């Protein structure tokens, strides 16, 4: 910023194992959004390294990163990011289309995923015809479309009431029990406590990193 060097992340180092349920927590300005973008292959580190499945991500070009985002990482956003003119089914079909899955197979997959998240009877409805919780379930189904190893959720309950938010977190927990690696980015410790591990950021540094068995419950 001008002549001032701002380190959004300052020499942090940690590993996330396959199948973990991790919450990355911190206040505004802590660096969690920058970290989310790096983990999601949206941004590249300016120094240091980031490995995903033993692949050195900072050596990949944009086309390679786009492929990784489409197949290895499923994104769930606070504001859902659904296309308003598309039905729930059509929204879930998008990543499958980009992955060039055969038409019949991608439709079967999308329908199965919407059924899995409890929307088998709402798949032909557009986002404006769905509740906030239902829209978030569509976004989770879309995130699962190409069977990614990782679900990266940015404040997934931020636009929901508390009851609906709990339902979405329960769904993410179920996906973790099925073997998915879940990473939630949040400022809310009440949300973070649904995870099995909490990494706290402050001023671009890891303030603490604790697993569930380390917590007082």
* Spatial separation of the C-alpha atoms in residues 215 and 180, rounded to whole Å: 23
Span 48-70, pLDDT tens digits: 999 998 889 988 999 999 999 98
pLDDT interval class at 84 (50, 70, 90): very high
Look at residue 200 and tell me whether its pLDDT is greater than 80.
Answer: yes
CA dihedral 120, 124, 127, 133 (to 10 degrees): -10
Pair 202, 26: CB distance under 8 Å: yes
Pair 80, 138: CB distance under 8 Å: yes
Pair 26, 192: CB distance under 8 Å: no
- What local confidence, expressed as pLDDT, does residue 111 receive? 97
Q: Which residues pair with 202 in a beta bridge?
A: 205
Q: Which residue is it, tokens 């990266």?
A: 152
* Cα distances (Å, whole numbers) of residue 178 to 36, 121, 147, 172: 23, 23, 12, 10
* Spatial separation of the C-alpha atoms in residues 16 and 1, rounded to whole Å: 31
pLDDT interval class at 5 (50, 70, 90): confident
Strand stretches in 1-155, DSSP E: 21-25, 51-52, 55-56, 73-76, 150-154
- What local confidence, expressed as pLDDT, does residue 217 receive? 42
* Spatial separation of the C-alpha atoms in residues 89 and 74, rounded to whole Å: 17
Return the CATH number of the domain spanning residue range 1-72+150-217: 3.40.50.300
Span 123-142, pLDDT tens digits: 999 999 999 999 999 999 99
The CATH 3.40.50.300 portion of the chain extends over: 1-72+150-217
Q: Please state, for a pLDDT cut of 90, what percent of the chain lies above it.
A: 84
Look at residue 3 and tell me whether its pLDDT is greater than 90.
Answer: no
């Amino acid at each position: 910023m001008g002549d001032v060097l701002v380190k959004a992340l300052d020499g942090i180092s940690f590993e996330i194992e396959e199948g973990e349920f991790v919450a990355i927590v911190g206040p505004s300005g802590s660096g969690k959004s920058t970290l989310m973008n790096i983990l999601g292959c949206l941004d590249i580190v300016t120094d240091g390294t980031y490995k995903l499945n033993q692949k050195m991500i900072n050596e990949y070009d944009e086309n390679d990163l786009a492929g990784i985002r489409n197949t290895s990482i499923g994104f769930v956003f606070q504001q859902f990011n659904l296309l308003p003119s598309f039905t729930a089914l059509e929204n879930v079909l998008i990543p499958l289309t980009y992955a060039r899955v055969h038409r019949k197979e991608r439709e079967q997959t999308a329908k199965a995923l919407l059924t899995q998240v409890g929307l088998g009877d709402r798949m032909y409805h557009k986002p404006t015809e769905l509740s906030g919780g239902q829209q978030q379930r569509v976004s989770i189904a879309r995130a699962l479309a190409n069977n990614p190893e990782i679900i990266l959720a940015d404040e997934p309950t931020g636009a929901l009431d508390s009851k609906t938010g709990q339902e979405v977190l329960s769904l993410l927990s179920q996906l973790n029990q099925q073997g998915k690696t879940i990473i939630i980015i949040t400022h809310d410790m009440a949300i973070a406590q649904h995870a099995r591990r909490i990494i706290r950021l402050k001023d671009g540094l890891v303030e603490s990193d604790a697993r569930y068995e380390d917590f007082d419950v």
